[in-house]
């Protein structure tokens, strides 16, 4: 199996515009940043959460706390993914009680990652509310999960992969690309 790039659906400028719009939507829905905190899901949700926090600070002149959530041990497909899972550190340096949490991830697909993130987050405390922000929503839900904030809806086929490339993680220009999964014989 290999991936073949099919189309670029968002470049760095498009990503910046989408995150700026999401920041404004977050502010409008929550009436500012009081009691607000962002929690990025490892891996690509973390830099996106930091970028959103930066946009919120530019607009409101207030720093919004950012946490990092590792969901490895909460996944329901843990045994099918790898024999030895790599668990990374969860870093949520604030009390969740009474907070409005915006959970941030790059792509919403089946909903299973978000379900695992909700379980992990609730184990840390009971926030007032949890909202979900994603850069890309590609459909194909297996669980009843919907994002509150979406950068772009991208209908895809199941044989396609949506890859979010971030400078902080991938050491390449920001982009969102659709790749076709090619099954190789042999």
Q: Does residue 11 carry a pLDDT above 90? A: yes
pLDDT digit string, tens, across residues 117-140: 999 999 999 999 999 999 999 999
Tell whether the model's pLDDT for residue 76 goes beyond 80: no
Q: Write the DSSP assignment of 95-117 as a string of letters.
A: --TT-EEEEEEEEESSSHHHHHH
DSSP letters spanning 21-82: HHHHHHHHHHTSSTTEEEEEETTTHHHHHHHHHHHHHHHHS-PPPEEEE--GGG-TTHHHH-
Can you read off the two tokens belonging to residue 150? 């979406």
Query: Do 126 and 96 contact (CB within 8 A), yes or no?
Result: yes
- Listed in sequence order, the residues at least 6 apart from 24 whose beta carbon sits closer than 8 Å to its beta carbon are 59
Predicted pLDDT of residue 88: 82
Domain ranges of the chain: 2-77+86-182
**Residue with more model confidence, 75 or 39:** 39
| Residue-wise pLDDT tens digits, 85-120 | 677 889 999 999 999 999 999 999 999 999 999 999
**Cut 0.85: pTM above it:** yes
Q: How far apart are CA 118 and CA 4, in angstroms?
A: 33
pLDDT of residue 129: 97
DSSP state for residue 159 in the 8-state scheme: T
**Which CATH code of 3.30.70.141, 3.30.530.20, 3.30.200.20, 3.40.50.2020 fits the domain covering 2-77+86-182?**
3.40.50.2020
Q: What is the pLDDT of residue 73?
A: 87
185 or 170, higher pLDDT: 170
Q: Above pLDDT 70, what percent of the chain?
A: 95
pLDDT value for 79 = 54
């Amino acid at each position: 199996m290999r991936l073949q790039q099919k189309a670029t659906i968002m470049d760095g400028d498009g990503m910046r515009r989408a995150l700026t719009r999401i920041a404004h939507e977050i502010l409008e829905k929550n009436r500012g940043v009081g009691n607000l905190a962002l929690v990025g899901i490892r891996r690509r949700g973390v830099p996106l959460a930091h970028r959103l926090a930066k946009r919120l600070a530019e607009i409101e002149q207030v720093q919004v706390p950012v946490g990092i959530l590792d969901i490895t041990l909460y996944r329901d497909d843990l045994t099918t993914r790898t024999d030895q899972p790599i668990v990374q550190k969860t870093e949520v340096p604030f009390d969740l009680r009474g907070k409005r949490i915006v959970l941030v991830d790059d792509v919403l697909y089946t909903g299973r990652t978000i379900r695992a993130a909700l379980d992990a987050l609730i184990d840390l405390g009971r926030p007032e509310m949890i909202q979900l922000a994603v850069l890309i929503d590609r459909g194909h839900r297996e669980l009843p999960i919907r994002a509150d904030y979406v950068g772009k809806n991208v209908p895809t086929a199941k044989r396609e992969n949506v890859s979010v490339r971030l400078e902080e993680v991938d050491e390449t220009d920001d982009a969102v690309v659709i790749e076709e999964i090619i099954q190789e014989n042999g």
